[in-house]
Structure 1
Amino acid sequence: MTGFDLARLLAERGDERYDLHARHLNHQLPRMLHTIGFDKVYDRAEGAYFWDRDGRDYLDMLAGFGVMGLGRHHPVVRQALHDVLDAGLADLTRFDCQPLPGLLAEKLLGHAPHLDRVFFGNSGTEAVETALKFARYATGRPRIVYCTHAFHGLTTGSLSVNGEDGFRDGFAPLLPDTAIELGDLAALEREVRRGDVAGFVVEPIQGKGVHPTPPGFLRAAQELLHRHKALLIADEVQTGLGRTGDFFAYQHEEGVEPDLVCVAKALSGGYVPVGATLGKDWIFKKVYSSMDRVLVHSASFGANAQAMAAGLAVLTVMEDEETVAHARHTGDLLRSRLAALVDRYELLHDVRGRGLMIGIEFGRPKSLGLRSRWTMLQAARKGLFAQMVVVPLLQRHRILTQVSGDHLEVIKLIPPLIIGEREVDRFVEAFTAVMDDAHGGGGLMWDFGRTLVKQALQTH
């Protein structure tokens, strides 16, 4: 048999997946997955579930770090990709104007009527890079202000405004930048008064730890920035497209109209890499100020037909299925059910977030027995208890979640926006069982804690 046969290739070599990664890709990934028992073999996926080869279902509360907003393999998005491939379009000629990018830009801008133009790239970090470049060029200033604990991507520009040292270490020098605490308006004012700030980039809800901006902060920051001729950049890569119960998270606060908005992740339904930077007309016209500058900022695969078709299909599905309202309703239900457990479990300290972006924070217990175990974990490495919760959720209850950041005792839930009451019930029941086990001194869970402590001490 000649030619490429994908089904045959996967049948013959699919079982080598972990060995192939260990040999040819990031060798620490399979090692980490094996250590925590996450080295599963998933055969197929649909909606908010995947299945292993024994036919057991797993509830996905991670959505591929947020890209699977509509769940996996939504039939409308899938069909759109088949259709665009079958159309045989003259894609990426680079010297014409195809209709799909214009149509997707038009549809996106309909959700941010104060903005006028869109640049399409291939990822969230590219969307942020675009915003940083445009802000610096449009204002003629070099410096960007960002927040501690922020995450805006891992390429050099976006890394410069990344608030976690673990990501930045060893990659300096980076762009001129200044970090402030989220919500510290006085610190922001001190920086912009120096006259060299191009913009302030902020997540309306920080992904690391799931921390919403304080009420009124975005509006006040916007007024302050504009008074000093600087720009407000909203990073909606994770919070956008309905995740928080509004189309964009900045829309929860009245009167907030960012100058630049970064979008990615869920825009293509998880099928095709895509990113978008929405902005005001005058900013784009400054960057693209003449025909000589028509390609001054561009991307080889930007605005490709598959990404644009997927994006159009995703936005259409969201309108037809009222996804944003559904995410708001389901998120309120899940958050209230979890918040009701805070008084019941001394290790559970807080439940916060908006829509289907929820943070569950653990903290130091009061009772002596639990406190000694907690102290043991904290001495080895902060964040181990949250990992101890994530593991049994997968191992015993077949629910995939994540710890919300390095050294954080927070679990983040960012499930597909299509989950409903059945999935809420399943998660809350499983989480309650894990909490009962932890507070009852459940041997298996704390035994695993000791394993994590050993691993943490070996990596120091």
Structure 2
Amino acid sequence: MISAQFDRNCCKIDRSLRYGEYFMERAFGEWVWFKGHPQPFLDLVMSHGAVPFGHCHPRLVEALKREAELVDNNYPFPNKNQVELAERLLSVAPLEQDEYEVLINISGSFVVDKAIELSRIVTGKAAIASFDKAFHGSTLSLLPATDACFVDHSELMTEASIKIPFCEESRCPQGSPSSRTCGCLETSERIIKANQSSLAALLVEPIQGSAGNILPASGYLRAIQEICERHNVLFVVDDLQVGLGRTGRVFSIENFGVENPDIIVTHKGLGGGFYPLVALIARKSIFSAVSRNPLNATVFGGAFLNNAFGCGIALEVLDILLADGVLERVKENGDYFLLGLQNLFSNHPLISRAYGLGYVIGMELTSPDEECLSRADIAREIIAEGMRQHVILYSRGGDGERIKLSPSLTMDRAVIDIALEKIRGVVATASESLLLQSVSRPIGGRNRDGTRGLAFAGSS
């Protein structure tokens, strides 16, 4: 078996959703080919959006070849690609261009770590706050900021986790989501004010990607930014999952009235899926304050910092993204995809709603009887059936209760129609299978071995 081959080669693979049963051989555009499966699979996940324009985009392949013939790594020397990329990012960001600078490095978690480090140095405060159900990474320093529903290593945490409510567009647990007097705002300001003497920054996912692409209530993020300004807390935007055009805007905060945040961490797709590249954009005053102490020199260090090869690929990514009509088509085609999902599942017993913005799309699951059939069970069966029907899906959320879609930004309506038909078939077959299994389960929702929930249906 392929999984046994992985074990012999000492490869650690993710078996949580049985993706390890599939051995990827090649990919192009929206399609992936796996060993032993002659027919391609439609990829609606795209490495959580890290592959922005489909697999092996011809222009990015050519850029990779071109840059590889010029330079590999260049640390610690500045380079032309680095400067041009910084200028391009600043020119399209929702901020006062002359007031900011750009630091370019590898890995989303690494750069969010760097944002925390800068915040702590410049404010002299140590605490970091984040939203409920936030995901900012799994490194040690990010554990307090990432919700325990994703990474629970509480025994390793050296500081308290400060959480404020994320006011969701479709619902608000404490009041009207469109109201300036929303209970979430009052709660957030009370928590931030109570901790302001020790609170360096609030980490903000404009749309909560790992929670299932959850959208914020209208006006909420701008109101939270104002609260941070009142209490001298830095407002740090983590755009790793939903930026770089995925909402139809280059930066997702452009949809929510947020301008001039203190720090922005850009989207992980900046390297086109070929190179791990993320940029940190921060106020010059922050960089200057940190640079005054020569002992902070290592803050701006790293063997792959401002890598010329990666920056060259990123420049091609921006050229593709900012070409005429690309962002407009993301918004229009995203609306078309979302409307198709809403029409398919407007009255479905297992899917309560489809929602999204551009190509940031989610489907929230519901169960007719949580005791017998959890939403996580439903998600696992849908994903397994998706692989059987040659479409790659993914579940996220605090309990894995949402299906998260992050398709290629260049996916056209012909492929969207194929995706809709595949998803329709997947959900129909999974629903039938779940119904049969739940009917055969004994009272109380327990299997014969005493466990609750469905066993994972193996792949064919």
**2:374 matches 1:388:** no
Mark the CA change 1:133 to 1:345 in structure 2 (over 3 Å): closer, same or farther. same
Structure 1, unaligned runs of 5 or more: 1-14, 366-370
Deviation at 1:77, TM superposition (A): 1.5
| Partner in structure 2 of residue 273 of structure 1 | 276
Cα distance in 2 for partners of 1:230, 1:342 equals 42
Q: 2:78, 2:306 within 8 Å by CA — same for their partners in 1?
A: no
Identity %: 26
Q: 1:261, 1:277 within 8 Å by CA — same for their partners in 2?
A: yes
Which letter does structure 1 place at the counterpart of 2:342? A
Within 5 Å, give how 1:52-91 maps onto structure 2. 52-53=34-35, 54-88=37-71, 91=73
**2:312 matches 1:309:** yes
Which letter does structure 1 place at the counterpart of 2:207? I
Q: 1:222, 1:256 within 8 Å by CA — same for their partners in 2?
A: no
**2:391 matches 1:399:** yes
Deviation at 1:168, TM superposition (A): 2.8
Cα distance in 2 for partners of 1:452, 1:25 equals 31
Cα distance in 2 for partners of 1:283, 1:419 equals 39
Which letter does structure 2 place at the counterpart of 1:193? K
Mark the CA change 1:101 to 1:18 in structure 2 (over 3 Å): closer, same or farther. farther
Within 5 Å, give how 1:54-453 maps onto structure 2. 54-88=37-71, 91-94=73-76, 96-112=77-93, 113-115=95-97, 116-183=100-167, 184-194=184-194, 195=196, 196-207=198-209, 208-289=211-292, 293-320=296-323, 322-365=325-368, 371=369, 375-378=371-374, 382-396=375-389, 398-405=390-397, 407-440=399-432, 453=453
Q: Which moved more, 1:356-365 or 1:36-45?
A: 36-45
Q: 2:335, 2:357 within 8 Å by CA — same for their partners in 1?
A: yes
Cα distance in 1 for partners of 2:4, 2:265 equals 34
Cα distance in 1 for partners of 2:440, 2:239 equals 36
Cα distance in 2 for partners of 1:332, 1:22 equals 46
| Partner in structure 2 of residue 45 of structure 1 | 27
Q: 1:48, 1:418 within 8 Å by CA — same for their partners in 2?
A: no
Deviation at 1:375, TM superposition (A): 3.6
Deviation at 1:452, TM superposition (A): 9.2
Cα distance in 2 for partners of 1:205, 1:256 equals 16
Mark the CA change 1:446 to 1:313 in structure 2 (over 3 Å): closer, same or farther. farther
Mark the CA change 1:235 to 1:93 in structure 2 (over 3 Å): closer, same or farther. closer
| Partner in structure 2 of residue 368 of structure 1 | none
Q: 2:26, 2:32 within 8 Å by CA — same for their partners in 1?
A: yes
After superposition, what is the alpha-carbon deviation per residue over 1:117-138, rounded to whole angstroms, capped at 9, x for unaligned?
1111211111211111111222
Which letter does structure 2 place at the counterpart of 1:233? V
Cα distance in 1 for partners of 2:296, 2:19 equals 52
Mark the CA change 1:181 to 1:73 in structure 2 (over 3 Å): closer, same or farther. same
Cα distance in 1 for partners of 2:203, 2:234 equals 8
Aligned length, in residue pairs = 425
After superposition, what is the alpha-carbon deviation per residue over 1:257-314, rounded to whole angstroms, capped at 9, x for unaligned?
3111112421010001112111111111111225664433322212112211111110
Mark the CA change 1:446 to 1:329 in structure 2 (over 3 Å): closer, same or farther. farther
Cα distance in 1 for partners of 2:295, 2:57 equals 42
Q: 2:208, 2:215 within 8 Å by CA — same for their partners in 1?
A: yes
Mark the CA change 1:322 to 1:266 in structure 2 (over 3 Å): closer, same or farther. farther
| Partner in structure 2 of residue 12 of structure 1 | none
- When normalised by structure 1's length, the TM-score is 0.85
Mark the CA change 1:255 to 1:26 in structure 2 (over 3 Å): closer, same or farther. closer
| Two-structure CA RMSD over aligned residues (Å) | 2.7
Which letter does structure 2 place at the counterpart of 1:144? I
Which letter does structure 2 place at the counterpart of 1:101? Q
Deviation at 1:408, TM superposition (A): 2.6
Greater helix proportion: 1
After superposition, what is the alpha-carbon deviation per residue over 1:21-47, rounded to whole angstroms, capped at 9, x for unaligned?
4651326x3x546xx476123321111
Mark the CA change 1:220 to 1:67 in structure 2 (over 3 Å): closer, same or farther. same
Deviation at 1:444, TM superposition (A): 7.9
Structure 2, unaligned runs of 5 or more: 168-183, 442-446
Corresponding residue SS for 2:302: coil
Cα distance in 1 for partners of 2:61, 2:363 equals 33
Cα distance in 1 for partners of 2:158, 2:25 equals 41
- When normalised by structure 2's length, the TM-score is 0.85
Mark the CA change 1:298 to 1:348 in structure 2 (over 3 Å): closer, same or farther. same
Deviation at 1:234, TM superposition (A): 0.9
